[in-house]
Structure 1
Amino acid sequence: MRTKMFLITILALMLAFSLAYAAGTPAGTVISNYATGAYKDANGNSLPNVTSNTVTTVVSQVAGVDISPASTSTNIVFHGTVSFALSLSNTGNGTDTFDLTKVSVETGGGVNTVEIYYDENGNGAVDAGESTVTSTSALAADARYDLVIVVTNVSGDDGSYCTTTVTGTSQFDSDVSDASSIVSTLSTSVMGITMTADNLNPKPGDIVTYSIYGENNGSATAKHIVLTNPIPSNTTYVPGSMAIMGSSRTDASDGDSSDYNITAAGAVTFTWGDAPAGASGTLTFQVQVNDGVPLGTIINASTIVNYNNILDEAQQPVSGNVNGARLTVSQLYAVELGADKTAIANPGDYIYYPTTVTNTGNGSDIFSISYSSVLASWEFYFDHNADGLINNGDVLITDSNLDGKPDIGTLIQNEVVYLIAKAQLPAGTSDGFVCSMTMVATSVGDEAVSDDGVISVTVTAPVLSLSKVVSPAGEQPPGTTLIYTCTLTNSGSGLATQVVISDNIPENMTYNTGSMKIGTATKTDTSDGDGATQSGDAVIFEIPQLGPGGSTSVSFQATIN
């Protein structure tokens, strides 16, 4: 028997096909095929082909997604906004929609907000009309969906960062997803300002130097830095005292980066300019503590810095650390005694020197009273009613604090006490003698502080001289009547009182009754109050007073026996 030859040819016929998709043949593609057999009989004669039945396979859907880039990072400024462009591709083999989620992790204590936008025109920026999305539209296989991720800084310190994971998840197969990691690091300028003073306990009148140290502690340039320093209350700015890094500046607005009372009223203003990360500088100016500022007064200073970030956006003003510039006024000891005084007095007179003691310091103090004088003893009284007289209620000062020195007790700031110094000029003090007393008020708080007042008293005492002449002069015979005249002169500056001139009638002479005169006025011989008396061998004249520079004469007559 001849063997028949049989050849079977299998044909695979693709009824549908696709291009090279990422996940292979598109979902829903129908794959059909059948087999055809060709054969011959035993003698090699071809026989009709035989065909098998057709078998069919439908391609199922496979999900796939890719978000690109897988990671990206950039810096963000304080309160700033940054955008990240992402693209999501459907790498599956069928149409799919992808849910979009975001998870942010803050590191360093910052706060940021994150939004996902559909980038309709694919330009990598959010344009008008583009809105946030939570899922893509339905994407055919290999289709792309462009996104813009917008991160906005709310708060945080320089160097804090936000890590955001953006995930696209297939709605067809939730087990299929892809993600991109976005890191936004806060990079900002951080201006640190510290203000100090070289004397934290000044007295009124002292000059204090303030130093302001500024430093950009951030990682980005601070721009257009301006420091404003109001002059503290109870102080006065010292003209021309501003300096930048030791280089003097004027007070005028003349381009030297500083001014006083121009840019800001009552303030020193320094224009720093731009400061890169880590840059620093020191600025100085001086004030004088005002007179009369009370002890214990707190003087607070302030410094404010205004600046822009690297994007030239204005930042919140920063108040400097001024703990090292807080002044507490210390005590200034000061005293003022009343004005000096001149006076005139007669020997034996009491001298009175009304004066005042004023506490011109800035706190309470006690003042001791001392004096120096040629007179042995001065007394000091409180003049309670300030009338300049010692009267009822005026008492001697005492040693109130028991330190062995008389004092006037405690006086508060600016308090005034009224005093009267008293002494007596000794009898017999020479005419024209100047008697001075220096009174000293000394602070008990600081014995190097004192003030003095001087009273200068010029003594007015009478200085009398007496001269006598006889007329006629020369040799005279018995029976001649002689006129004796005495001239009394006061060459001093004081009044002479109760002057008595006694003149004896010479031997061999007989007094002429009724011949006594004072000046040109004839006087009786009896003691009848007319200032002249003849008694025994003497004539007596009484002159009630004779003023400074005054002169008078007395005379009587007698005859040679």
Structure 2
Amino acid sequence: MIDPERADHRLSQTLFRFFIQHQMNFFIPAPLQTSRTTLIHSGMRVGWGLVWVLLLHLAWAAPAGTVIRNQALAIVNGQTYFSNEIETLVQAVCVPSLTPNGAPGTPAQQAVVPAGGFVYFAYLLRNSGNQSFTFSLSWVQDSAPWTPGSVRFYHDINGNARLDAGEVEISSVTLAPAQEIRLILELQTPLSALGELHISPVATCPDGTRDNDNYSRVSIGSGAALNVVKSVDTPEALEGQEVRFSIRVWNLGSARAAGPIYVSDLLDTPELRDLTYVMGSAGATKGRLEYSDGSTWSTSATQVRGIRLVLEGLESGEEALFSFRMQVGAGALAGPRRNIVSAESPGSSAQASVELQIAAQYALALGPLDNPQAVGAADQQSAQLLAGQPYCFTHTLLNRGNTADTYTLEAVGLPSGVSLSYRTLGGGSLPSPIVLPAGASLSFAVCLPGLAVGTAPFEFTLQARSTASGNADPTMNRVAQVLDPSLITLRKSTRTGPNVTPGERVVYTLEIENPLPIALEKALVEDVLDAGLEFVSASEGGTYTSTSRTVRWNLSLAPGSTRTLNLETRVASSAPNGATILNRFSLRADAISNPLLSNTVSLNVLASALLLEKQVQPNQASVGDLLTYAVTVVNVGQVALTVRLEDTPEPGLVYLPGSAAPGEPLLQGNRLIWDNLTLAPGARMVVSYKMRVGAGAGPLLRNTVQAIGSAGSNAAVAHAVASAVVQLQQGVFTPPRSLLGRVFLDTDRDGRFTAGLDVPLPGARVLLSNGLQTLTDGEGRYSFRNLPGGLFEVMLEAASALFQPLPHPEAQGDGYRHRVRVEGLTVSDFPLERPTGLVRAMRETTLEFGPLKVEKKLLPLPSGFRVVLVLNAAETLTDLTLTDPLPGGGERVFRFAQFQGTQTLTYDLPGGFLTDPQARWRYP
């Protein structure tokens, strides 16, 4: 047994578990069915949320004790599989519904009485559960300073919201599902009562479920208290039905309610959609009825969009009634409609509402495509099928009801071993079950697999069934004949060949013969061109798509007809000699899903070919030398060729006019072109010419020539490329090669010389592997100039530099030797380890002022000192001047127009002591 409040969780859990385990096509039969459903179609992608809502709606609506059975069915590879049957029992659910609702801040009703007086409030109790229940009646109040003297409940038998003679007191009531009872709550105020009291009746189920949010207000004193209540003569209405709304307004105050009092009911609100006022149906016991046309109120009922009762006033306890009818319009969707009425007077106001339910009506229609409501012969489809080809009957399903519904499909009468698949018109799987809103339709295809030749004619009924109501609508499909598609003839031929040459035109003839008694509608003929073919034209509107290399024709082939198509192509110039060109075409149609193929036409390519050779003398030269080129062209093909030679020399080579034989070339920029050179099959031709090496030529001079041969149709059928290379010798234009470097004590051991920090080593001897040697200058620098390019070994004499070499990427052995490739300007330094005895400053000082920081220190040199000034500015300083006093008098001055960042300044002194620098700048 299940609680419908938990039906969503348990039903979804069970069905989801089945789907995960089986991963196959299935559907859920309608709740409340006890027999298995016999058809399933493919497709699982569906809005399950709506399906669960519908299932739960049925669970809520089903009486307690109802058994809901569900079983899934799947068809896999023609085999039918059933799941286990799921059975759920709907439990009893008690739901009390008391109206009108109200809260202490927004009371449903109100009354003004003197202390010791009586108050009467009218309520409606409805059993919204799914079986009969006995409801106990009680009441609650807010934190008012006083408590009613007595509270009693009476059955308002005539529904006039008054306590009449003969209406008995009750403390509980038993109601069947959807049954209602009108109640009177009587309250007596004590003589000591002051202020206000908010009281709510309470209806309680046997299981403790209660409705207690129905507060009304009692005020002690004197004054008017308007109340209004609205009712409808039926809780549920059908399309076309008329319903009567009744409005009661009364004064529960202790004083007269001054007029004018307007009791207004607007009828054109979204909450009352699909309902229209019945002309002449309004009536009132007192007062004046007025009608609104949407902008003004008058007593003329010509276009009624609202109705109101106008009263001059109401005495204490006095009431007024009026009523009118409305009709449910055609096509009204199922669901609630809410009507609100308001009463307003100069000193008081009230509001009430009533809800009408438009009953759900379930109806469906299934028929041929775009004709779901077809009847008789129009509701039957017949087809002649091609064996081995799938065939689809198209249908449209229409939800003719006024609420959403789900549908399952069932086929009856299929031959043994024949199964159906269900598709959308776009070719996707059809969702199952099918979910349709009210008035919506869905077109789909019911597809048979390819049937064998000789299959006997048969017919089957396709039926759609409503999950909610169980109603069904059938339509008939008939297979009149299964035809043999092998009788359709596809022939392809050409008068060209079997041998073709590049550039040659090839015309294909495509013949399609349909001897069958059915038309081939929406026929598509496709011819995919071989890579060795180029498209020229196609007859009868054929189109060509270059990306897929496909020619297409869209046709309709009548029964017993023959169609001839022509396709003109050209053998591609790039088609290699000896290649085979294969070509065929295919046919599809509405009745032919699997394409039929024609015979294949084969052509052999016999292309011409050229041999090309290029030579140059000499193959080594210097700037200004003259080079002689010879180009040899041989036609090794079988047809005569017209040859075009194009020579593209490297920059720096200049053609010598008049040097070419057998004829002068055409100069186009830096290219040399010989055109219209004729070569018979097997012929040989040599073209010679001279070029001079100019200034700026690179070390390798590559000269490339290409030959393009063509037959009489001017289509390119042969192509060859050759090149010759000359190596340029070094001369006066060769850039110099030099080796430079520095020998120094590397204080920070970073391998790079840092001025002011690292100490250069003068007088160190450096030797080169070719015997050259030199001494470093006062800054530790050495150089070897005008060297030939290549690898050299440069060595620092250890006796002249008594310091340990630091690691270096070019170092060899103990580090005093470097292996260096000299090309252009090459640098190789010797960083040496600086002894700790020299790494000290005699004195350091720091100047800081605002954004500027200046650090000064003295570093000892072999003779004298090196002054190091490190400047750092956090912002841009304008007209910065740094003055450093000298120990023997005078000063060193450094000026900067704009200064920011860090900079190191150095200069040397023969001796002396540390002085303090000064700095100044200005702000713009």
With the shorter chain as reference, the TM-score category is 0.3 to 0.5
The TM-score with structure 1 as length reference comes to 0.35
Higher RCO, 1 vs 2 (CA within 8 Å, ≥6 residues apart): 1
Give 1 or 2 for the bigger CA radius of gyration.
1
Compare the two structures and name the one with the higher helix fraction: 2
TM-score by length of 2: 0.23
